[in-house]
Structure 1
Amino acid sequence: MFPVLGLATLLLAACQGGTAKKTQAKIDSTIVTNAESAPDSVQCYQYIKNRDTATLSLKSENNKVTGTLGYNLYEKDKNAGTIAGMVKGDTIIANYTFQSEGKTSVREVAFLKKGNQLAEGFGDVQEINGESKFKDLSKLKFDGSMTFEKIDCK
């Protein structure tokens, strides 16, 4: 009688242990998934090609995005500032307010998310109320000429 009772106890304990592990795995993956989309999480990206560099940090919440952007392009004026805009599907459209040559300017920027990369979009622009805006967002080209790679934030 005791060996049967002992065996039954072992089987019951083994079954409960398996359930606990499955539940823990589900909880852990949920935490990881939610951490990536948490409103306070900041994602950082960097572009490096030859002597050109650019950095981008983004914070997104409810389809709105804010952050910082800076370009240091070889033999061109360095500029840095903030971005604020919207996320539409896999595309970010934002206003980039920056300082260059002692002057504050506003330029519309666009980025297309491709995995862990953001490809900057380019297209024809026009000046509206002192700001540089794209003429037609549907005609932007995300040709990969300036692709930011995801990096750890510093």
Structure 2
Amino acid sequence: MRNIIPILAIYASAMLACQSNSTKSVSTDIKATHTDTASKQCFQYVDKKDTASLSLEINNGKVNGALSYKLFEKDKNDGTITGIVKGDTIIADYTFQSEGTTSTREVVWLKKNDQLVEGFGEGEESNGKMKFKNLANLRFDQAMVFKPVICK
């Protein structure tokens, strides 16, 4: 019986030491998460021979990133996006190169779970760029779904 008491004391001390260390690391992780306001996210759309890649950096409601479309039998588009996040929607200007010409058009994605669904709708030219006539009338049913991927 005398041997059990020191063993229990050592065991209890070891358990308390483990608990205090894990508490410290959890609080450090939470603090680091709260101080880091920028987040980089990458997405990809793939359908047969069509692909599109999107990388976003979101910081305090503003979004910047890169977007590339490689659609079968169409010219490749590579460019950058800058815009805003409104709730579950990203609204941005996409400035890209295609056939040696620089163009700008508005792009919109709706976040559904961990995916981004690109919006489509009637457009018009305004001040040298293509914009949607009415954001409220966009359709998100044409199945251009960008799924999350690991950023390269």
Counterpart for residue 34 of structure 1? 33
CA distance in 1, matches of 2:146, 2:51: 10
Q: Deviations over 1:61-90 (max 9, x none)?
A: 000000000101111111110000000011
- Give the paired residue count: 151
Counterpart for residue 107 of structure 2? 109
Counterpart for residue 55 of structure 2? 57
Is residue 67 from structure 1 mapped to residue 65 from structure 2 by the alignment?
Answer: yes
Q: Deviations over 1:120-152 (max 9, x none)?
A: 011111111111011111111111510011111
Letter of the structure 1 residue corresponding to residue 132 of structure 2: F
Q: Deviations over 1:9-45 (max 9, x none)?
A: 34751552363265156337627x828x641x42111
CA distance in 2, matches of 1:90, 1:150: 15
Q: For 1:13-24, what aligned pairs fall within 5 Å after superposition?
A: 13=13, 16-17=16-17, 19-20=19-20, 23-24=23-24
- My pick for the range that moved more, 8-17 or 59-68, is 8-17
CA distance in 1, matches of 2:101, 2:111: 30
CA distance in 2, matches of 1:151, 1:110: 19
Letter of the structure 1 residue corresponding to residue 27 of structure 2: I
Superposition RMSD on alpha carbons, in Å?
A: 2.7
The Cα shift of 1:105 comes to 0.6
Letter of the structure 1 residue corresponding to residue 6 of structure 2: G
Counterpart for residue 134 of structure 1? 132
Q: Which runs of 5+ in 1 are unaligned?
A: none
Identity %: 48
Letter of the structure 2 residue corresponding to residue 49 of structure 1: D
Counterpart for residue 124 of structure 1? 122
- My pick for the range that moved more, 119-128 or 3-12, is 3-12
